[in-house]
Structure 1
Amino acid sequence: MSAPLKYLSAYSPELQQQARGLLDGGRLAPWLLARHPQPHGKRNDSALYAHVEGLRQTHMRQTPRLDRVCFDSKLHVVQHALGLHTRVSRVQGNKLKAAREIRIGSVFRDAPLAFLDMIAVHELAHLREREHDKAFYRLCQHMLPDYHQLELELRLYLIHLERGRERLWAASDLPA
């Protein structure tokens, strides 16, 4: 029996079998590259912040501005997460100051824009909905209509990486 596909454990056995066929046949990487030929090009934290803040402005104007958005090299390894949102409240004098930040795993620095958007939308949705319930996923789909398809493709990419395969996109793949 083959090793379980941990990133697809919640999906149907039929879908897992299709994914295993792509993996075992060496067709997963070409399939992902055909669907997403280029990386996003957001190389630093300020470009990432501008992009995620733009998504927030477009879809969630009523939520407060983010204080920080950054790539985090420890995130995927330590927390087993793709992205992380935090709200920190601090007392400063007689005021309570709240800081909101989103951290995205640095493995996605060279991913396609669709994957970056999927993670950003997921973390932005947590600003309004804390739990992964129906309201949360409705909000994700409102911001990114193909959210569920992109989540599946991102999970397939993580399986590709977990199997010791190389990253599919690199900064050198960006158009000149």
Structure 2
Amino acid sequence: MSTTINQQPMKSLSYLGGYPEPVIERVKSLINADQLGEQILKRYPAAHEIRTDKALYQYVMSLKNERLKMSSPLSKVAYDDKISVLNDALGLHTQISRVQGSRLKAKNEIRVAAVFKKMPVEFLRMIVVHELAHLREKDHNKAFYQLCAHMEPDYHQLEFDTRLYLTHVELSGTLY
């Protein structure tokens, strides 16, 4: 039995809150025509091979060194099974402060939801850029999003497409 978006209105579109109504209507029409997944797979046909924490660390560090040279160092980068995309978290940037002697030492960590192991590299890059931007800008403000767009010119499109993909996953229950 096929369920249309009209029977499950906003629960199915939880990732698209804040987008204009014409965009929401277009997404609903794609869902009702059972074409949302097809459209996403057409644009992003394959998952990446960055599956281990070590490979993720190398990927993040290469992006950081290329796009954000003068920023705080990272002490840890890892996939995290405990981060739930269903709880509005795709990644986390944490800063842990510890007292070492008479100094206060801060360590930056980036954790990425494990679901990104099976997504296209473009979606992984979007979340990594987002978390790297938090090294300089703590809040989600205009400067933060300008920095994201500076590091990844297609940031806003990739964020939207990631949200579409997560909507598709929520409706269909399938990853790549």
Q: CA deviation at 1:156?
A: 0.7
Residue 30 of structure 2 is matched in structure 1 by: 22
Residue 69 of structure 1 is matched in structure 2 by: 77
**How high is the TM-score relative to the length of structure 2?**
0.91
Q: CA deviation at 1:164?
A: 3.9
Residue from 137, 158, 163 that aligns with 1:155 = 163
Q: 1:141 to 1:6 in 2, by over 3 A?
A: same
**Hey, what's the Cα distance between the residues in 2 that align with 1:78 and 1:156?**
14
Residue 132 of structure 2 is matched in structure 1 by: 124
Residue from 139, 143, 146 that aligns with 1:135 = 143
**Hey, what's the Cα distance between the residues in 2 that align with 1:154 and 1:39?**
13
Q: CA deviation at 1:77?
A: 5.6
Gaps of 5+ in 2: 1-5
Q: CA deviation at 1:92?
A: 2.0
- Residue 58 of structure 1 pairs with residue 52 of structure 2: no
**Hey, what's the Cα distance between the residues in 2 that align with 1:20 and 1:155?**
13
Residue 112 of structure 2 is matched in structure 1 by: 104
**Hey, what's the Cα distance between the residues in 1 that align with 2:37 and 2:86?**
26
Check conservation: 1:52, 1:120, Cα contact below 8 A.
yes
Q: How many residue pairs end up in the alignment?
A: 168
Indicate the RMSD between aligned Cα atoms, in angstroms. 1.4
Look up the equivalent residue of 2:55 and give its one-letter code: A
- Residue 88 of structure 1 pairs with residue 104 of structure 2: no
Consecutive aligned runs of 4 or more in structure 1 exceeding 4 Å deviation: none
Check conservation: 1:53, 1:65, Cα contact below 8 A.
no
Q: 1:77 to 1:113 in 2, by over 3 A?
A: closer
Q: Please list the CA deviations of residues 31-56 of structure 1 after superposition, one character each: whole Å capped at 9, or x if unmatched.
A: 11110111111010000000011111
